Structure 1
């Protein structure tokens, strides 16, 4: 049996089983596919594929189904990911282009993926640790408070309100806010988040004032201290605290009900799968184990998933980001009996459109 014919027979078995969910026999392969050999030859080929652990008989019948190893070989030998039609690409683009902010982008993306693939869609929010500071804005709120607005290249926006006390009153207050805004952006704009946070801390430590010079309530700079130094420290401290709190990664899911429609594909109940999906830390870990190449689609099949509750599923995922850097990942999870070429094409196409949106509209 040649390797080419082995792959041809295996491909035919995978395609038929994905389409029908029924074990595939040699006669059906000969009738549906132009294999160029007799049914007897196909039976011999199937026997060898079974010996190699690429297919197996789920029960005492003439039909065979792919194993995890069979799916893996099929995916690894795909000559090309099936391209989406022009209509499918246009529909994806139009659906995502209507998003108004990052939350809307993520929400639309996860619903779009679930609808396209009829699987469970998983979308990770852009990671702050992989993001770049685009701009820091300070917005005065009344005579004593200021809102800190951090805008990063992925469109993510973080806000926090701090009290600076009477130093904001009058024209001098406006000048102070403008001065600090300029210092913050000169220090941090254009830098990766982790680097920017360190530079901001150095900026605050470098101003010539007593860091303990705070008001009696500890909330703002003391009236007797250097207004600039004390206000800068308050803003930087609050900004860094807010970023530290928001550093926790998040994922959004949609389409869990699709699992019920594929209930027959799971040897056990879907309970363990749903329980695993509730553990977002687990999903983040799986999505994080990707190449930084945003065009490389990762496929984990069955037992390749390290989480026991997901070992009857396959996870197809890819990174997305602003520019050439991957800042997060998205993908779909479903039964191993999956239309891999179409699913991989859908996941990659959606990731490319999301990346384009982040590049074109990095922030509101």
Structure 2
């Protein structure tokens, strides 16, 4: 717990440091119009703040900068957030094209979030097994070639061309499509796949070989769709070059490798899915010493109250949280609403 004087000095120190990134000295703080204390008194208060682990001197005879503990205290106890204006919300919504399929919408959200925050964005993709199968169709391209069309979540269309050993008529294609639509529509991807796997033997014994081949091909398409090609998207990695505290070649190399290796970041994003609202992770709270000097802000996105994934940004701990947090929050809300549509 800090008394009023200590809180005032710490808050002003944080404001100065977040603004220009330079260590803050007692003389600089004492000159601020709302402080009203001597330099000696300010030095004593700063010494107390340093003993508490909230600030430290980066080198001898320097001013003070916040520690990770200091950032945590500042974020939890001193910040208030204003929601984005309707104009800015409308701008984000306009940039996210409603007509895109699910994967393209995720990619668009990642790029937009990176652009409006000036940081690296992360979007944890929805798990493929949660996708709902909405329609199945087969289109004859030639005697032996068939286009398999599967529609998921009302907007994600997947097409595959398959080659059959023997020709099949349009009537037989339609019968097979009707059968699969009756049995599989409304099931999620995992359920539809399980149904076909359980029924494959009976399908082979009760239908002709043509229909059996089509059903088996559909099962292969579902199998391909279930494969998660990328667990999360990353956009704007080069934005980190714009921040002096991160623009070190070894630091950036370590961060980029961490993005590519997935495991640590996935642990953090999975943790964020279990939490309510916006989460801010500072430094080693992110799961590794690699993120020293960084903060990660995340927010789950939902469809009908069900958490589908998480989006967020990675940037320097010295960021304008009051501006960045509402942008992450609003982008997650808009993405969830567009996925619902």
Same-fold call, TM > 0.5? yes
Alignment partner, residue 64 of structure 2: 64
Structure 2 CA distance, aligned partners of 1:286 and 1:154? 30
Alignment partner, residue 194 of structure 1: 190
Q: 1:33 to 1:346 in 2, by over 3 A?
A: farther
1:263 aligns to what SS in structure 2?
coil
Alignment partner, residue 136 of structure 2: 137
TM-score (structure 1 length as normaliser): 0.81
199-208 or 114-123, which deviates more: 199-208
1:123 aligns to what SS in structure 2?
strand
Structure 2 residue 266 is matched with structure 1 residue 284? yes
**Two-structure CA RMSD over aligned residues (Å):** 3.0
Aligned residues: 339
Alignment partner, residue 342 of structure 1: 323
**Equivalent pair of 2:136/2:177 in contact (CA under 8 Å):** no
TM-score (structure 2 length as normaliser): 0.86
**Equivalent pair of 1:58/1:65 in contact (CA under 8 Å):** yes
Alignment partner, residue 213 of structure 1: none
**Equivalent pair of 1:275/1:309 in contact (CA under 8 Å):** no
**Equivalent pair of 1:144/1:169 in contact (CA under 8 Å):** no
Alignment partner, residue 121 of structure 1: 121
Q: 1:324 aligns with which of 283, 298, 305?
A: 305
Alignment partner, residue 53 of structure 1: 53
323-332 or 273-282, which deviates more: 273-282
Q: 2:221 aligns with which of 239, 243, 246?
A: 239
Q: 1:333 aligns with which of 314, 322, 339?
A: 314
Structure 2 residue 259 is matched with structure 1 residue 260? no
- Deviations 1:190-240 (CA, angstroms, capped at 9, x unpaired): x44333432332343454718xxxxxxxxxxxxxx6348724641453134
Q: 1:137 to 1:6 in 2, by over 3 A?
A: farther
**Equivalent pair of 1:50/1:56 in contact (CA under 8 Å):** yes
Structure 2 CA distance, aligned partners of 1:243 and 1:37? 65
Q: 1:348 to 1:175 in 2, by over 3 A?
A: same
Q: 1:195 to 1:172 in 2, by over 3 A?
A: closer
**Equivalent pair of 1:201/1:236 in contact (CA under 8 Å):** no
Give structure 1 stretches of 5+ with no counterpart. Answer: 211-224
**Equivalent pair of 2:6/2:45 in contact (CA under 8 Å):** yes
Give structure 2 stretches of 5+ with no counterpart. Answer: none
Q: 1:180 to 1:144 in 2, by over 3 A?
A: farther
Alignment partner, residue 181 of structure 2: 181
Structure 2 CA distance, aligned partners of 1:99 and 1:6? 53
2:96 aligns to what SS in structure 1?
helix
Alignment partner, residue 272 of structure 1: 254
What is the CA distance between 1:38 and its match in structure 2? 4.9
Q: 2:282 aligns with which of 291, 297, 301?
A: 301
What is the CA distance between 1:15 and its match in structure 2? 1.9
